Amino acid sequence: MVVSLVIGLVVSYIQGIFQIDDPVLSLGPKIVAVGLGIFLFGPYIFGTLTANLAGFIGHIPEAIRVSW
């Protein structure tokens, strides 16, 4: 999300300098940047998510025992 925000700001700044009024122009770089971000950081995010989810699921029986 931050990558998309930064790319959008940079493209908007460039559009403002050159007075280009085309909203589609900012879509291409955003798609490429977000895709690259997912490619680079996706394994880390997925690994962290699965580790946290496994820890959460592992504590469910303990939480049920405590509540009864």
Q: What element of type H or E holds 4?
A: helix 2-18
Stretch 9-30: mean pLDDT? 86
pLDDT in tens, 29-65: 889 999 999 999 999 999 999 999 999 999 999 888 8
pLDDT of residue 18: 86
Stretch 25-32: mean pLDDT? 87
**Any alpha helices (H) in 19-59, and if so which ranges?**
27-58
Stretch 12-40: mean pLDDT? 88
pLDDT of residue 67: 67
Distance CA 49, CA 3 (A): 20
Q: Which of 60, 57, 45, 4 is nearest to 27 (CA)?
A: 4
Q: What element of type H or E holds 61?
A: helix 60-67
